[in-house]
Amino acid sequence: MKSFYLTTAIDYVNGSPHLGHAYEKVLADVIARFRRLMGDRVFFLTGTDEHGQKVQQSARARGIAPQQFADEVSAEFRALCAKLDVSNDDFIRTTEERHKRVVRDLLQRLFDKGDIYKAEYRGFYSTRQEQFLQEKDRNPDGTWPEIFGEVTEIIEPNYFFKLRDYQSWLVGFLKQHEQFIFPRYRQKQVLEFLAEPLNDLCISRPRERLEWGIPLPFDEKFVTYVWFDALVNYYSAVADKPEFWPADFHVIGKDILVPPHAVYWPIMLHALGLPPPRALLVHGWWSINGAKMSKSTGNFIDAAEFADRYGVDALRYFMIREMNIGQDSDFSLQLFLTRYNSELANNLGNLVNRTLNMMTRFAGGIVPAPEATSSLQNIWDKTRDEFIKLCEGFQFHIALDRVISFLTETNAYIELQAPWKLAKNTDPNTAAVLRNTLATMAEALRLGATLLQPVMPSTTVKIQTALGYTPGPVWRDELVWGAKLTGAKLQPALVLFPRPDQEKK
């Protein structure tokens, strides 16, 4: 059995989660569920990034200890994952002992091998971004862009990691591993960034300025720079499961590709003699009216609240169907409702209703044995093969489109066969056609719903239950057109996608 290790970015705990955070976790969940159904042994990690100045400041503003503050916000992120049916196998917090131990051990190893040195640092620091800025970051008029918040000049001794020594290794690595970053065009952006000489990375903060961090093992007067701390989570979570390293995919947003994930992280691992991850999957941003969704600007959707109103699976479906991984997407209620009505309620929901209703009326609720092949079968084979290829290539939005087309074909088949007319005719040949039509509808619904499982897990289970069917844990022969439902007793009705209450909008 192939092992498959998948991670998400770990979220800062200085603010509550919004739909952008939720999307990333759901996207990774869809991949994890898909890989499990394909038969892989999956380890799926998510978690929270809890050290640093912002958390220290937010806690101070509330008059509580940073740990208590982090505990509260981390619990919100964890609860959101549970609410959205995210099937993570582990949830790591950077304030946990198991993580801190590994960070300190890796730092000590780099220090012992001479990759970390002490020097005086002078620079402009952005607290909001937790990073030192460079002259090229300034606006043409000399001011700092708004995204950096308050910027202060700092002169202090610090520890540095010899990033520059590994620059040519990284360039060679990226050229050899053209598939390291998905989508591919982002790999070019990294190489462009690497065309300029790298500065060594300042990996410490003096404790008098920042208390809330992991003390350096070789100088306790300093704490570890948050990015050096946070990136290690991917490794510390599987420190006792070496079979999962290297990770197959780190799922991250485009804002944290360069330099942390595409430059610092592979170099840190290489310097430690550890293999880098196999690939980075980089998604774009959700925006509202064109502006990035973000808690600090107040421009955001609360994913938990939205799921309460419109359904967890409907939200999961919309996010995965709407976003082409890598590009940005604008979120609007109108767009959501259009897809909800046309693709979920009127297509899938309608097929479920008709199948259960007609089986109950015309066959006593028991699925008859199929008696002939149908043209839907060929459409199914093509749909399934394309769907799997598209998911393997992270084209989930198109993969879902294929399923919807298959459901549309199935509804059209029902219209054409018109079981309600067939049922009026007592001729034995017509009765046979009716039985076959009902068996075909049920089988098409079973198969279509099966493909939706990674994206809408609880909806799929509801449909399977209504069809009186319990699938196996992996796909394999679950996706073969056949007679699995023959003799199954169907429920008479199932409401999956109620009309959203217009009043509440």
Applying CB under 6 A, the residues found at the interface with ligand MSP are 9-12, 20-21, 23-24, 49, 230-231, 233, 252-253, 255-256, 285-286, 292-293
Residue 157 CB neighbour total at 10 angstroms = 13
Q: How far apart are CA 355 and CA 372, in angstroms?
A: 18
Work out how close the CB of 130 gets to ligand MSP at its nearest, in angstroms, rounded to a whole number: 9
**Choice between 213 and 253, CB closer to ligand MSP:** 253
Tell me the closest approach of the beta carbon of residue 285 to ligand MSP, in angstroms.
Answer: 4
Total residues found in the chain within this entry = 505
Question: 395 Cβ partners below 8 Å, 6+ apart?
Answer: 324, 325
Q: How far is the CB of 284 from ligand MSP (least distance, A)?
A: 7
Compute the 3-state secondary structure of the chain and give helix, strand, coil in percent, each to the nearest 5: 50, 15, 35
Spatial distance between the Cα atoms of 454 and 450, rounded to a whole number of angstroms: 9
Q: Which two tokens stand for residue 284?
A: 């774009």
Query: Least distance from C-beta 300 to ligand MSP, angstroms?
Result: 8
Nearest distance in Å: CB 91, ligand MSP:
14
**Residue of minimal CB distance from ligand MSP?**
253
Minimum CB–partner distance for residue 369 and ligand MSP (Å): 48
Residue with Cβ nearer ligand MSP (12 or 362): 12
| Whole-Å CA distances, 296 to 106, 149, 302, 461 | 34, 11, 13, 38
CB 19 to ligand MSP: min, Å: 7
Q: Which is nearer to ligand MSP, 103 or 351 (CB)?
A: 103
Closer Cβ to ligand MSP, 263 or 293, answer by number: 293
| CA gap 36, 472 in Å, rounded | 12
CB of 78 to ligand MSP, least distance (A): 14
Q: Cα–Cα distances in Å, from 61 out to 14, 65, 295?
A: 11, 10, 17
Nearer residue to ligand MSP within complex by CB, 219 or 255: 255
26 or 479: CB nearest ligand MSP: 26
Nearer to ligand MSP, 291 or 493 (CB): 291
Q: Are 281 and 394 within 8 A, CB to CB?
A: yes
**Contact between 256 and 280 (Cβ < 8 Å):** no
CA distance 4 to 246: 9
Q: Which residue type, as a one-letter code, is found at position 228?
A: F
CB of 40 to ligand MSP, least distance (A): 23
**Residue 164 burial class via C-beta count within 10 angstroms: exposed 0-12, middle 13-18, buried 19 and up:** middle
Residue closer to ligand MSP by CB (options 187, 410) is: 187
Work out how close the CB of 370 gets to ligand MSP at its nearest, in angstroms, rounded to a whole number: 45
**For ligand MSP, which is the closer residue by CB, 28 or 485?**
28
Three-class SS state of 108:
helix
Looking at residue 148, what DSSP letter applies?
G
**Runs of H (alpha helix) within 155-297:** 167-176, 185-193, 226-231, 233-236, 265-271
Nearer CB in complex with ligand MSP: 239/366: 239
